[in-house]
Every structure is written in structure tokens, then in C-alpha cells.
Chain A
């Protein structure tokens, strides 16, 4: 059976909440039921079939054609695969618990926010607050892996609790701000204020241009035994961080954020 595919008939004029288009909801539904599934489109509710051509039948693997107005894709999904062909809007994979969510384009604000498990792959760029907590909430991403092949915006991993965010491009300001724990690795340059008010957790930075704030204490160069083990954990994932050379690196360790008596670390790969 081929993947259950939703193709947009026309460009979206309003924001569209596609949170029902996940394997958990679609499994066991007939073609007709899926066609009638109501979606929130701007300020009205509309049947799925009015917006999408629906083809294929395997609801374990769902494919949606992308749009920057497509919000909440893969929200709270627990199983199966969801592929977005193109860009997606805000709240991609919000509170997702399991399965695999892939975006071939870029994602908007709050991608993978409060992620609780599973794998999120974004081939393009990610907006601000990747893997963060929703506004006012105390706990961001708490499990799972996020891979971004492009760049990420500001405040990646805000209030992050556990899990890994792997960014192959650049990252913006306030990387890992207010982190409680977890790992964020960035291949490219980063913006100012990395690790602001972080309690625990690891920022693994590969760019020599990274500026570290005054509230982080330089602990010197180290060969850390745990680093190869950490990176070995990413083996099997399609990312540059899982390659063998990365694991041989020596790192300069900065401890902080001392302004909140944090026990986190920023590791600069030499």
C-alpha cells in the first residue's frame, strides 16, 4: 500500500491546523471518514477533502504537501511516519511522543516544542524556539531527537529538559537558554548569549567563532571520555554528527551559567 497522501488543491489563504492528519487519528478510518475530517482553517472548520486531494491508503505513513501556513503538523503523534513535502508553519511536532516526522523544506516557530519522544528531521531551516517550552510553561522538549540540516533561529532549546537537538547549520541568539538538561550540538556559528541561565545540559559547538559569555568559567582543554559515547548514540541517524571523525575531538570546556549556579557546560570542539 502506498502512503496516505494529502495534496493541497490550492495555496492556503488562512492558517490551517493539520493536527488531525497523523497516523494515530487516521488509522482505522475509511476513505470517506478521512475526507470529512474537520480541520480548523482560519476562523472556520472545513472538511479535509475540500482542501486536499487524498490518495493512497497506508495510514501508518502519511504525507502532506507543505505550506508555510500549515500549523501543528504531527501534534502529539505517537507512531508511524509523517512526511511534509515542502515547508511547514508553526508548532511542528508539538508534544509529539513517538514516530518519525520529516519536513523536506523549512519549519516555522516552535518546531518540536515540548517534544516528548520520536524523531523530527527538518531538511531546511527551523524558526525561533526550536524544541522550546510553550510560552509560560516550565518544561521544553523532554525526550527525542531533532535534526536540522539548515539553520535554526533564536532561543533553540529554551527550557529544554532532555533529548538532543542537532543543527548542521547556524543557530541564533540565546542558544539553550534556561536549559534544565539535554544536548544541543551546532555545526555552524551561533549568536550571542549561548547558554543564558542554563542549569545543566551540554552545548556542543563546532565553530571557532563562538563567543562565550562572562558567566561561563573556562575549564581548559579536555579529552572527554563521554563524548565518543554521546556521538555513538547518534549512529544510524542521517546526520553529520554521527560520523566517526567527530568523536575523536578534543574540546575546550566552559562551565555555567554561573549566574544561576548552573552546572551545565559549553564544549567548543577544537
Chain B
């Protein structure tokens, strides 16, 4: 199949193309230099249109146990947002925690072609993959969670060799078919079960005697030495606690130059100034990030309305359960190795704290200078459902709109925030970096997030409009691996995405040790953790793509 996209205005930051008129050629799902004189089967006239690679959401909770729990917990979320069968699309429902099919359709209709699930528990990885495999039109991948599991904490507290930890991390990534490692409230999920209700960066776990700082360093080093492209994905200590900006700054300095990704940083940027002992730490965090090139972040912007927070951080979710709206929540242990907390939440624009959270997120976006190191997320669904992304993009690109919105939120919070004084407006090029090129680079996806020859033809075409929310809500065309899947914001073809993974090398000796460990201490055995290729590819829908690890990172 040969396709020609004629005369579009291309924004392709990975190749340094900033709004130049170009022709693009697609041969069998890949972008090529030219068609070598062959006549294209389809030609699309894109004159006056904006062309970008398909967008990548690098942190979105779309699969795994907690999403299922959120769905079970919130039938009203489903009743209030039914999605009837329409055209090629099957029925679904859900605003904050949509069903799998609806998730895929809605992402595609906004021009997204990939989404990465950031909290895959090793023992739940199979279910997470099955759920993600049921999301159409979207490439997926997962970060597998370590850091509160007994095996790792035993290794660390007994002063094991880093090499052994590396092997365990590599084995976990491979067996869970993941693309990176996530750590959630390092050690805190485990400490919660030993009756600790908070665990600061240098506080010792009462049983293992290790600190979150040690856990972060050990895991970040493992990920780095294994050559996994995506740096350690960190959901830090003290999420949502006023004053946690100090913890965040210490975390940044404490990692000692190793690559680290701090996720939903908005929830970790709170100060204790002012009458209410709650203030913005965004400026200090942004300053630290601007200064430390090894750090990347995604924001986890909140937007007002009803949503549900779903997290592995059972310690913090338990602390926040009193704020549940509607008043019901779940906190649970998972196989003694991890946890999960689901708390429905309504962010209110007239509420001081919520309004300030909103400001803090936007300040973070606007104060971090390098768009390659900041990513556009709402931590779906924790800050807001992903369907709010076009609104968020407009807030970033349109200063007067942002200030109009600022004037409607809690005035006390608005007065405390520096948001009104920030003049920065994101350009289309910078949006393309944040949502495409940067995300692909961060994850090590060499053939995604750009439009150069050899890239997979995941392409989104928009009509440039003054109202960026409208523009990004409804693309004219979306191509997934060279197939036209969305036309004028409507799904016209349903295809299935790929699973992105990495396969770091490890010493096979770890398996014998793990097998013995699981046999002795676990209800689940080693084989329960290992996902085979056929389990993903057996139905002929998803393909596993393996991305290379860096060479020579091992010291």
C-alpha cells in the first residue's frame, strides 16, 4: 500500500522540522523518502493542515488490577457516560475509568497512537497485558513495579551485590514484558503493612532497615547499568503531603546524576507557606529540574471535575481516603508484594487546595524550560481523564484563555499563585516535543514519535485553529501503522496496536534463586510471573516489539 500525504505543514521535532511544508510518503506502514516514481494508491491533500506524529501518552492508567477495581467501585461513572454502539465502534462506557474499547476509541479520536501503563505489578502483569491488548488502535507498554517487594528489600537490606539486583530487575522486566521500571512510594507500600503511616526519603523501613533513598539509588543504578532506555520511573515519597517539595528536591539531588523520571510531579510540589500551610513549590522544583539534566518529569495536571484516583501507593491513598467523593474507597494488599488504593475524587475549582493544585501543575509546565524533559499528562485518571488533554493543551498555548480560567478559580489560591504573571505560551513545535518526540525518545522508541524515513506511519493531521482545544479534540486524519483509522474525528477502521518492550540481559542463575524463593514464600510460583510471547501474540492481534537496550552502560 502506497500513500502520499501532500503539502501538509509538518511539525517533527525529532528531525528538527518546525512547521515546514512537506510531502510524506508511506509504504506498507512505514514512512519512506519517496515512492521511487510509483503511483500512490491513496493521496491526501493536506495543504493548510498541521501534520504531526501520532501522540504518545507516556503515563496513563489503562490496564491492570486497579483500573478494574475502579470500574467495579464506580458503576455510577459508567451509568452517567454510556457510549452506544456507533459505526464500527462497539458499545462501552465510563468517564473516569472507561472500558477498554472506549479507551482506545477515545484516544484515537484525539490523535493518540500509543499509551503506556505505568503501574504493572509483576504478579498482575498477565492481566494488565490482556486488558491492554483489548484496547484497540493504541500501541501499549508497561512499567513494571518494584521497590516494595519482599525479594528486592531482602536483597537490599542484606547488602547484596548490585549485580544480583540488576539480574532481578532485568528478569522482572523480561518476565513481565515491560519497557521500564516504576517505583511507587519506594518501600512505603511495604512499610504501610508494618504500621508505618509515612516514610520520608531518609526514614528507615522498620523491618528491612532500608530507606527510600537507598531503594531509589539501587533501582536507578540497575536500570541505568542494564541499559534500559527509559530511566527509573519514580512516584516519590509523600505524595500530596504539604511540604513534600523538600522531599522532591532531596530526591533529585540524592540520585547523584543517574537518569530518573519523576512522575506526576504536581502532586509532589507542595510547600507549607501561607495562612493555610499549603503553597506552591513549582518554582523551586522547576529550578532544580532546569539545573539537573538527568531528570525528566511528567506533570500529572489536575483539571476540575469528577474522577477517580487509582494508585499502587496504598499508604498515601489510605491517608487520603477521607476525601473520597463519592464516599467509598478501596485499599488493599496484593500478594504481600505490593498494594493498591482506589479513591474516587472530585476536584473543585472553588476549593482552595484543588485550585492551587491546578495552578501548581500549570506553573510547572511553564517554568520548565526544556520541553524535551517535561511531558503532558494528567496521570489519567488521577488528575483528570485523558479526554481533557485538548483543554490542557489550550491552557498551555493560550495565555488569555489561561488567565480567564484563572479568574474563575478560588480567588485566594489564584492570588497566591504566580500563574497570572507567566507569559509563556507553548508553540505547536513544543507541544509536538512534549507529546511525541520527547516521549518516544524517553522510552527508547526509535521508530515512533517522528516522521523521518523508517518511522512507523503513526501520523495525526489537524486543522490549525485559533481554539487549540477544538483543534486537538478532532483531528482530520489519524494513521496507525499506515492505515487510516480516524477521519474527521470518527473512527473509520479498527486496528490493534503493538506491545512495546525491552529485553535486558541477565545471568540465568537468578532464576534458580527466584524459583526457590517463590516456592518457599509465595502462593504464586515462578512460572506465574513469566509471560510467554504466545500469550500476547497468540490471537493474532497484538505484536511484540522489542526495543534495543543501550550498550556498554554496565560499569
A residues lining the B interface (CB < 8 Å): 134-138
Contact = CB atoms under 8 A, between A and B. Distances in A.
Question: Main SS of chain B's interface residues?
Answer: helix
A138 B328 contact: yes
Contacts of B327: 138
Nearest to A136: B75
B73 interface: yes
Contact of A134 (B74, B79, B326, B328): B79
A135 B77 CA distance: 12
Contacts of A137: 75-76
Contacts of A135: 75
Nearest to A40: B84
**Nearest 3 A/B pairs, CB to CB:** A136-B75, A135-B75, A138-B326
Contacts of B76: 134, 136-137
Interface of B: 72-76, 79, 326-328
Nearest to A139: B326
A138 B74 CA distance: 11
A247 to B, nearest CB: 38
A136 B326 CA distance: 11
A134 B79 CA distance: 10
A134 B326 CA distance: 14
Contacts of A134: 75-76, 79
Nearest to B73: A136
A137 B79 CA distance: 11
14 contacts: A134-B75, A134-B76, A134-B79, A135-B75, A136-B72, A136-B73, A136-B74, A136-B75, A136-B76, A137-B75, A137-B76, A138-B326, A138-B327, A138-B328
Contacts of B79: 134
Nearest to A45: B84
A134 B76 CA distance: 9
Nearest to B79: A134
B76 to A, nearest CB: 6
A110 B328 CA distance: 22
Contacts of B72: 136
Contacts of B326: 138
A41 to B, nearest CB: 14
B36 to A, nearest CB: 50
Contacts of B73: 136
A135 B79 CA distance: 11
**Which among A136, A137, A138 has the greatest number of chain B C-beta atoms within 10 A?**
A136
A45 B194 CA distance: 57
B272 to A, nearest CB: 34
Nearest to A138: B326
A19 to B, nearest CB: 14
Nearest to B85: A43
Nearest to B78: A136
Given A136-B74, A137-B75, 4 more contacts: A134-B75, A134-B76, A136-B72, A136-B75
Contacts of B75: 134-137
Contacts of A138: 326-328
Nearest to B91: A43
A138 B73 CA distance: 11
A138 B75 CA distance: 11
A137 B78 CA distance: 12
A164 B79 CA distance: 27
A137 B75 CA distance: 7
Nearest to A43: B85
A134 B77 CA distance: 13
A134 B75 CA distance: 9
Nearest to A135: B75
B67 to A, nearest CB: 16
A142 to B, nearest CB: 14
A136 B308 CA distance: 15
Contacts of A136: 72-76
A130 B359 CA distance: 47
A145 B75 CA distance: 26
A108 B164 CA distance: 63
A134 B301 CA distance: 33
A136 B72 CA distance: 8
A93 B450 CA distance: 55
B326 to A, nearest CB: 6
A138 B344 CA distance: 13
B83 to A, nearest CB: 15
Nearest to B76: A137
**Which among A134, A135, A137 has the greatest number of chain B C-beta atoms within 10 A?**
A137
A134 B73 CA distance: 13
B306 to A, nearest CB: 14
A59 to B, nearest CB: 28
A134 B78 CA distance: 12
Contacts of B328: 138
A135 B326 CA distance: 14
A136 B79 CA distance: 11
A18 to B, nearest CB: 18
A184 B79 CA distance: 28
**Which among B72, B73, B326 has the greatest number of chain A C-beta atoms within 10 A?**
B326
A234 B74 CA distance: 37
A21 to B, nearest CB: 20
B146 to A, nearest CB: 33
A50 B79 CA distance: 28
A225 B326 CA distance: 37
A136 B71 CA distance: 10
